[in-house]
Amino acid sequence: MADTHKKEVDKLSGIETTGHEWDGLKELNNPLPKWWLYTFYATIAWAVVYWVLYPSWPLVSTYTKGVLGSSQRAEAVAAYEDGIAARSVFGDRIVDATLEDINADQELQQFAMAAGQAAFGDNCAACHGAGGTGFEGYPNLQDDTWLWGGTLEDIHYTLLHGIRVANDEARFGDMPAYADIFSKEEIAQVANYVGSKVGLEPEAGVDLAAGEQLYLDNCAACHGDDLNGMQEVGAPNLNSANYLYGKSIEAIASQVANPRNGVMPGWKDRLEPATIKSLAIYVHSFGGGQ
């Protein structure tokens, strides 16, 4: 490497070199473009102005406030408080309105749908799925199988008071465990009878007539002679295509022997009244309601 302190004028370009040379290549001392220099100077000037006008320099326990006294934190807090105030106005209107009136008012309905969607994601989606499609043991809110009815009022009541919880107003339908009442043969007879009535192939050699009699004597009081169920007590419609715990002879027998009775919390002590109404509007919009 040549002497880096020796400067000369390049013969081809007529520009002075910096004195740096690498493998025979000499660095020219080209000045920076004026537009670039002016832009650079402008940014420096703007930085100085910004330091004066806006918060910028940290101090020991605070920071310089700037001449304008601007604060993004204060602006964010103000925007949040404005949003809370706006929500409060809509929330009060929703509390005072009936569910039907909310659905009929486009402005209120849009607010309720947005609030209901947020509340559903926070509180309901873990069991019912993000779109309300449910899982085994957790109802699909998009179908038309509703144990206690799918009207706006029915959904609202269920949200308020819950299902099978320690609440005098909760929905409560309890199916006994017939493993303590029937023999294994009788459980198989009932399960095969019900399955045969809803399009399933019964197992060979099972006495369906005995199963029918057992059903009429023990199950028809809640599920009906025609298997259509009874919403008043939350007894499922056994003719439905949707079985919460599986639609097969084995699944029916398991439910007869040792029924799984699902639980849903009541939300009246956990969520605001406006939020619960908004949830009812949102869930009803899935299309499975009545």
> Of all helices (H) and strands (E), which one includes residue 42?
helix 34-53
> Residue 19, class by beta-carbon neighbours within 10 Å (0-12 exposed, 13-18 middle, 19+ buried)?
middle
Query: What mean pLDDT, rounded, does the chain reach?
Result: 91
pLDDT at 139 over 80: yes
Does this model's pTM top 0.85? My answer is no
Q: How far is CA 114 from CA 77, 90, 117, 119, in A?
A: 22, 12, 5, 9
Residue 156 marked ligand-binding: no
pLDDT at 2 over 80: no
Q: How many CA atoms lie within 13 A of 162 on its CB side?
A: 16
Residue 284 marked ligand-binding: no
Residue 1 marked ligand-binding: no
How many other CB atoms are there within 10 angstroms of residue 23's CB atom? 6
Stronger pLDDT, 17 or 209, i.e. the higher one = 209
Stronger pLDDT, 69 or 96, i.e. the higher one = 96
What is the pLDDT, as a whole number, of residue 5?
A: 59
Mean pLDDT of the 103-113 span: 93
Q: Reduced to 3 states, what is the DSSP secondary structure of residue 216?
A: helix
Residue 175 marked ligand-binding: yes
What is the pLDDT, as a whole number, of residue 195?
A: 96
Residue 113 marked ligand-binding: no
Select from 190, 158, 185, 195 the least CA-distant residue to 175. 190
Residue 219 marked ligand-binding: yes
